[in-house]
Amino acid sequence: MTLAVASYHKIGAEPPPGNWESWYYVSELVFERQLEEFASAGWTVVGVDTLRAAVDAPESVPSKALLLTFDDGYRSFGSTALPVLQRFDYPAVLFVPTDHIGGSNVWDRDEEPEEAICDWGDLRYLHESGIAIQSHAASHRAFSQLSSDEWREELYGSRCRLEDQLCSPVDIIAYPYGDDAAMPEDLRVALANAGYRVGCLYGGGPNSVPLVDQYRVSRLALGPDSDISMMLAQSG
Ligand SMILES: [Zn+2]
């Protein structure tokens, strides 16, 4: 069994006027074509429960399962990606850095156009629309730059805020920048103690199921020019 986790950032919305081109924007048309390419290659889009099942009940995971994930919680997701996902009837996961809810991607300043991040009302609407809202830590700082106390704050803080507001379990994290600090044992312990069951990297190919390491799940880093068939041929 194989579980591919697709990782997108911004669908559709053009960068604001005066801003530069960014690889992290995928137009709606290209996004739809990529979804069609996955489907015609025989991948079945699954929801977040299948990622959990890859840990607890790997035999229940379809042979070519595909989970769609979106990082940073951009407000444009609701107007661009969501209608496409609804047309395909596909579930998805949105990873949100909780300190920036209702703000913007200030951590990307000078590197990416400024974009609004969902506020709590937006997240509630997406949650009610069937999008799983999960953790992208709190501050969006790279874990390799943080102390173990700071890891704990990021892990607990983001989980508690999302669970309090959305009344839904949060047990999956996408590490900011895909940086897992090379997964030292104390981060592994902090993840388990904070209730996380899966940690997602950024980059790599599909994961074999049962997962080799539930805290180091590879994700296909997708942009407008991605060669999906080549990425799917890689191993985790
Ligand atoms: Zn991010």
> Is the pLDDT assigned to residue 15 strictly greater than 90?
no
CA of 177 to the centre of ligand 1 (A): 6
pLDDT in the model for residue 21: 65
pLDDT digits (tens, 9 = 90+) for 193-212: 999 999 999 999 999 999 99
CA of 72 to the centre of ligand 1 (A): 5
Cα Rg for the chain, rounded, in angstroms?
Answer: 17
CA of 59 to the centre of ligand 1 (A): 31
Q: How far apart are CA 102 and CA 198, in angstroms?
A: 26
Q: How far apart are CA 76 and CA 84, in angstroms?
A: 12
pLDDT band at 22 (very low <50, low <70, confident <90, very high): confident
Mean pLDDT, to the nearest integer, of 69-85? 96
CA of 167 to the centre of ligand 1 (A): 23
Task: Encode 101-123: b = buried (16+ Cβ within 10 Å), e = exposed.
Answer: beebbebbeeebbebbbbeeebb
Q: How far apart are CA 81 and CA 74, in angstroms?
A: 10
123 token code pair: 């997240």
Stretch among 7-21, 113-127, 220-234 having the lowest mean pLDDT: 7-21
Q: Which 8-state DSSP code applies to residue 169?
A: -
pLDDT in the model for residue 111: 83
Mean pLDDT, to the nearest integer, of 13-29? 74
CA of 71 to the centre of ligand 1 (A): 5
**Most distant pair of Cα atoms in the chain: their distance:** 50
Peptide bond connecting 210 to the previous residue in cis, omega within 30 degrees of 0: yes
* Domain spanning 2-233, CATH class: alpha beta
Q: How far apart are CA 216 and CA 199, in angstroms?
A: 6
Q: Which residues have a Cβ under 8 Å from the Cβ of 174 and sit 6 or more positions away?
A: 7, 69, 71, 95, 134, 135, 136, 199, 200, 202, 219
pLDDT digits (tens, 9 = 90+) for 86-132: 999 999 999 999 999 999 999 988 888 889 999 999 999 999 999 99
Q: How far apart are CA 58 and CA 40, in angstroms?
A: 24
pLDDT band at 19 (very low <50, low <70, confident <90, very high): low
Burial label, 127 (beta-carbon count in 10 A; 0-12, 13-18, 19+):
middle
CA of 136 to the centre of ligand 1 (A): 7
pLDDT band at 20 (very low <50, low <70, confident <90, very high): low
> Is the pLDDT assigned to residue 41 strictly greater than 70?
yes
Stretch among 22-26, 37-41, 105-109, 113-117 having the lowest mean pLDDT: 22-26
Mean pLDDT for all residues in the chain: 94
